[in-house]
Structure 1
Amino acid sequence: MDFDIKNIDLAPGGRHRIEWAEQEMPVLRGIQQQFTSDRPFAGLRISACMHVTTETANLMVSLQAGGADVVLSASNPLSTQDDVAASLVSHYEIPVYAIKGEDNETYFKHLNAALDHNPHIVMDDGADLVSTIHKSRRNLIDNMIGGTEETTTGIIRLRAMAADGALQFPMMAVNDALTKHMFDNRYGTGQSTIDGIVRATNVLVAGKNVVVAGYGWCSRGIAMRARGLGGNVIVTEIDPLKALEAVMDGYRVMPMMEAAAIGDIFVSATGDIHVFDEHHFMAMKDGALLSNSGHFDVEINKPALEKLSTNGPKRVRPFVEQYTMKHNGHRLNLLGEGRLINLAAAEGHPASVMDMSFAGQAMAAKYLIDNKDKLENRVYTIPQEVDQEIARIKLDAMGIYIDTLTAEQVAYLNSWEEGT
């Protein structure tokens, strides 16, 4: 078995952490038991490009239990948990290509190693596997059944491909499932982002001006958790509806240029480029913290930050690089190299919320198999009945039960004769 990881001797600790996470993932556990019985992926190869964490490990093991020949590569150079990678290789015999802190050359080498697996299905977190197949590995297309995508950023890329007629196989938009973006994005990103910022800096959030760029589901969660810790939250937006929602939720809303001058902690989670840019850096206070919770490290314009600084970055803490501005001597602190702060400096989302997201991934892959002769080369959402089943299983695992409609109520809702 080929693989490329940091140190195989880290495997025992990784296994303990994988098993710890599994205790918090009852939905995926139930799906794994069903997969073990039905073997829906028997004879199929799945290549995954995802954050190599304890939660992802449990998804890989579930796919393997369903008969899949699985390979995993990292979807972010700083998100890999090296002990988890070692355990997957050592204890589960799943090839992994991921090393925390790998450079870009190694990152893309690992992507291509996963594609050397000649997959029938790809599981993506940012659409790097899919875009690589379409750009430089087109020989793999004829063998593809389809793929799944985990992130808002990735789905933006996939929908652009589909709109251009470039997408050559069907993709499942797992991020669009309600049990994913309403929970993983909001509660997972909200908690883990603040966790990453605090671990990296040991800063007190209370009393600070926390500037949150965007008000999508991830940013909603970040704003909610920052306010919960006593932060004075400012939201910036380009969408008038989302901006209005942020106002109604009790946040201050203003243009980024205004927020730049008063913010203490900055977080971006938009999926777009240069959300924090040169003119913003010029206006920021001494000691400002810059962080990103969007998938790619482009939301903070790092080349501009470097250009404006005196001698480049100074590492002042393990995940903090400090830039001293030439024009006024202010020190701006970039967290986690501008990459996903919740995975660079912390452990990512808690297992209990990833349970639903990865249940969606597993069920989306099965949906591709079950419907492979019916699907077109476009982006599909998770069927509503799958979403509801995931939510039902999650509630059961939490010991929470809900009402069901009576026959009379069903009849009323399906009739048009009744009324005032």
Structure 2
Amino acid sequence: MPQPKPSMIRNPDAYPSGEQKIEWARAHMPLVGEIERRFAEERPFLGKRISMCLHLEAKTARLALAIQAGGAEVAIAGSNPLSTQDDVAAALARRGVRVYAWHGATPEEYRSHLEAVLDWEPEGVIDDGADLATILHRERPEQAAKIRGGCEETTTGILRLRAMAREGVLRYPMLAVNDAQCKHLFDNRYGTGQSVWDGFMRTTNLMIAGKTVVVVGYGWCGKGVAMRARGLGAQVVVCEVDPIRAVEAVMEGFRVMPIREAAEIGDIFIAVTGNKAVISRDAMERMKDGAILGNAGHFDVEVDKAALADLAVEVRTARPNVDEYRLADGRRLYLIAEGRLVNLAAGDGHPVEVMDMTFALQALGLREVMTKSYPPGLHAIPAHMDEEVARMRLSTWGMEIDELTEAQKRYLASWNA
């Protein structure tokens, strides 16, 4: 096997505060802690190399250390140039994980970090947005054929992998963690709902109450963003292309309208679709002075940044992580965190407890695909694994639930009871 490159981090001496963050996460991630204990006994990844591409902060560090406890050599790259926390990267490197990431990486540096985690020929991957899968299949097909398997946790990544599987080009098995109930029902909805507004408020120091918030996309993440905006006192408008989701939004009490109409009344716009240019030039031309644009989708393509730059006659930094675009008619539009993930590029990401569930699924899913024989393609997380994580969560809360009796099981399984 090739020898992995040394860690590529910005400030090795920043590890003390990174250690503090990791220990705080440890104290509030009992599920990952229990899995780490099991892995240390079972050693399911002994001698295996695992490459990870995830937002590099304390919760992710806990997942990497749990996999390392299972016997793996672990390398990790950041999945967003603005979400990497350099002190956490330093602390993780100090614990023997190969780390290739730093905050504010240029596109070229970001790409070199992704290349670095693949250069040592991993046998398993944990991907975010299918970044590693894209490089492997476009540029390293021979290496892709040697991957035993992995996990993907984002909606955007699942869309890419599903397209690859549909075309018959996906060369290794991937478990769709994002589609697991313990992921999208909780992480996407409650995690995104809280973290988007946490990042927005700490970055802008503005009120949400009394404003009109336009949520573009009403999937599980959009539902959480809309729900929490209403809870903060906003009037919420939803824009959708799916008629079923639009009906659901109306029945949840939200106004639904096309983005062209919403553009004229919105104060805050949050895009969360997984698609590009959903906040378009046409919408920006209709927005009122002072409108604020944010993105909660994986890639920085949901706000049409090229169109925004073309419309502007002047661009300046209004405050840290907020860029002001002044248009020819004097209107000002504000873009949060360069149009990148507002909850991570402008905050600490999802709450620790909800990521405990998601990363428990990631760890168990990786063990599943690395220790069993799955054919190439995109596969669902086994239902028993979903239930195991839910039961672990209930247990940490000190809660119990009922069990079906044998008679009840027979009744449900019969058509002639």
* TM-score (ref. length: structure 2): 0.98
Does residue 64 of structure 1 match 2:63? no
* Displacement of 1:415: 2.4
Within the candidate set 27, 34, 40, 1:30 is matched to 34
Instruction: Tell me if structure 2 keeps the 8 A contact 1:79–1:100.
Output: yes
Does residue 9 of structure 1 match 2:13? yes
* Displacement of 1:411: 2.2
Does residue 321 of structure 1 match 2:320? no
Within the candidate set 153, 164, 180, 1:177 is matched to 180
Tell me the residue number matched to 2:347: 346
Does residue 376 of structure 1 match 2:375? yes
Does residue 48 of structure 1 match 2:47? no
Within the candidate set 100, 111, 114, 1:97 is matched to 100
Tell me the residue number matched to 1:303: 306
- Runs of 4+ in structure 1 deviating by more than 3 angstroms, as ranges, are none
Does residue 395 of structure 1 match 2:394? yes
* Displacement of 1:137: 1.9
Instruction: Tell me if structure 1 keeps the 8 A contact 2:271–2:278.
Output: yes
Helix, strand or coil at the partner of 1:346 = coil
Instruction: Tell me if structure 1 keeps the 8 A contact 2:291–2:333.
Output: yes
Amino acid aligned to 2:243: P
Does residue 149 of structure 1 match 2:157? no
Identity of matched residues, %: 52
Amino acid aligned to 1:60: A
Does residue 235 of structure 1 match 2:238? yes
* Displacement of 1:151: 0.1
Helix, strand or coil at the partner of 2:270 = strand
Q: Using the alignment, how far apart are the partners of 2:404 and 2:139 within structure 1?
A: 53
In the alignment, structure 1 segments of 5+ residues that lack a partner are none
* TM-score (ref. length: structure 1): 0.97
Does residue 226 of structure 1 match 2:225? no
Helix, strand or coil at the partner of 1:4 = coil
Helix, strand or coil at the partner of 2:325 = strand
Q: Using the alignment, how far apart are the partners of 1:396 and 1:41 within structure 2?
A: 27
Instruction: Tell me if structure 2 keeps the 8 A contact 1:22–1:351.
Output: no
Instruction: Tell me if structure 1 keeps the 8 A contact 2:246–2:256.
Output: yes
Q: Using the alignment, how far apart are the partners of 2:348 and 2:184 within structure 1?
A: 19
Does residue 335 of structure 1 match 2:336? yes
* Displacement of 1:214: 0.6
Amino acid aligned to 1:4: M
Tell me the residue number matched to 2:163: 160
* Displacement of 1:362: 0.6
- 1:192-248 CA-to-partner distances (Å, cap 9, x unmatched) read 001111111011000000000010000000001100000101000000000000000
Tell me the residue number matched to 2:85: 81
* Displacement of 1:166: 1.4
RMSD, matched Cα: 0.9
Tell me the residue number matched to 1:266: 269
Helix, strand or coil at the partner of 2:145 = helix
Instruction: Tell me if structure 1 keeps the 8 A contact 2:124–2:370.
Output: no
Amino acid aligned to 1:51: H
In the TM superposition, what are the counterparts of 1:238-257 in structure 2 within 5 Å?
238-257=241-260
- 1:249-297 CA-to-partner distances (Å, cap 9, x unmatched) read 0100000000000000000010000010111110001000000000000
* Displacement of 1:138: 2.2
Q: Using the alignment, how far apart are the partners of 1:148 and 1:60 within structure 2?
A: 13
Instruction: Tell me if structure 1 keeps the 8 A contact 2:211–2:234.
Output: yes
Q: Using the alignment, how far apart are the partners of 2:114 and 2:371 within structure 1?
A: 27
Within the candidate set 175, 198, 201, 2:201 is matched to 198
Instruction: Tell me if structure 1 keeps the 8 A contact 2:172–2:377.
Output: yes
Helix, strand or coil at the partner of 1:215 = coil
Q: Using the alignment, how far apart are the partners of 2:112 and 2:218 within structure 1?
A: 35
* Displacement of 1:106: 0.4
* Displacement of 1:23: 1.3
- 1:111-139 CA-to-partner distances (Å, cap 9, x unmatched) read 00010120001110100001101111223
Amino acid aligned to 1:401: E
Q: Using the alignment, how far apart are the partners of 2:251 and 2:109 within structure 1?
A: 46
Does residue 367 of structure 1 match 2:371? no
In the alignment, structure 2 segments of 5+ residues that lack a partner are none
Q: Using the alignment, how far apart are the partners of 1:379 and 1:31 within structure 2?
A: 24
Amino acid aligned to 2:116: A
Q: Using the alignment, how far apart are the partners of 1:416 and 1:143 within structure 2?
A: 47
Within the candidate set 188, 210, 214, 1:211 is matched to 214
Helix, strand or coil at the partner of 2:236 = strand
- 1:154-189 CA-to-partner distances (Å, cap 9, x unmatched) read 000011111111111111111001000110000001
Instruction: Tell me if structure 1 keeps the 8 A contact 2:218–2:239.
Output: yes
* Displacement of 1:146: 1.2
